[in-house]
Amino acid sequence: MNRRVTRIDELARDIPPPRDLWPAISAAIAAGEPVATARPRRAAWLPAVGLAAGVALVAIGVLIGRNITPQTTPNVATNTQPAQNPEVIPAALRDAEYRKQRDQLLVEVQTRLQAMPEAEREKVAASLKTLQRSIQEIEAALGRDPANALLQELLVSSCQEEMRALTAVRDTGRQEI
């Protein structure tokens, strides 16, 4: 008989799977590495990564708030590699639209960087690289520990920070036009 409900949370939350999944899980964990018994330690580099990302953002924030005079300067390379390792990257970061937006932003930021005075450009580029290095380090750590939810969160938020920073640098250029 079909039950009637007045609230969405009255729907059943527990829905047993159609078959017992334990035999397959048991086989998989028996075939895999034994569980480590050591108490987990927070990776020593985590505070450093967070601090580096924070410093990079502050530096970018300060720099984009200053008056920047366009001039012709040599090209400054920016990291064009978003988080790459498909085994460990959260799904949101593998999305084609995200990657497309990021690539577009990098092109625009590159143009903006070229228009900056050398000293400013080097500082902004260094800050962006610090952010990107942080992302790479988190990704590498995720490669060693793919199910670490903290690292996954940190990776997504760092990539979002990078997008915000890139957008801020790009928009500074637009405002001046």
Interaction site with other proteins (CB under 8 A): 2-9, 11-19, 21-22, 24-26, 28-30, 32-40, 90-95, 97-98, 101, 145-149, 152-153, 156, 159-160, 163
Shortest reach from residue 3's CB to other proteins, in Å: 5
Shortest reach from residue 70's CB to other proteins, in Å: 27
Q: Which two tokens stand for residue 70?
A: 């366009």
Q: Which is nearer to other proteins, 11 or 77 (CB)?
A: 11
Shortest reach from residue 26's CB to other proteins, in Å: 6
Q: Token match 């793919």: residue?
A: 146
Q: Which H or E run includes 63?
A: helix 46-64
Q: Which H or E run includes 167?
A: helix 149-176
Shortest reach from residue 123's CB to other proteins, in Å: 25
Phi then psi dihedrals of residue 174, to 5 deg: -65, -40
HSE on the CB side for 166, CA within 13 Å? 25
Shortest reach from residue 27's CB to other proteins, in Å: 10
**DSSP readout, 72-134?**
--------------TTTS-HHHH-HHHHHHHHHHHHHHHHHHHTS-HHHHHHHHHHHHHHHHH
SS (H, E, C) 16-34: CCCCCCHHHHHHHHHHCCC
Q: Which is nearer to other proteins, 30 or 44 (CB)?
A: 30
Q: Which is nearer to other proteins, 52 or 156 (CB)?
A: 156
Q: Which is nearer to other proteins, 97 or 119 (CB)?
A: 97
Q: Which is nearer to other proteins, 64 or 154 (CB)?
A: 154
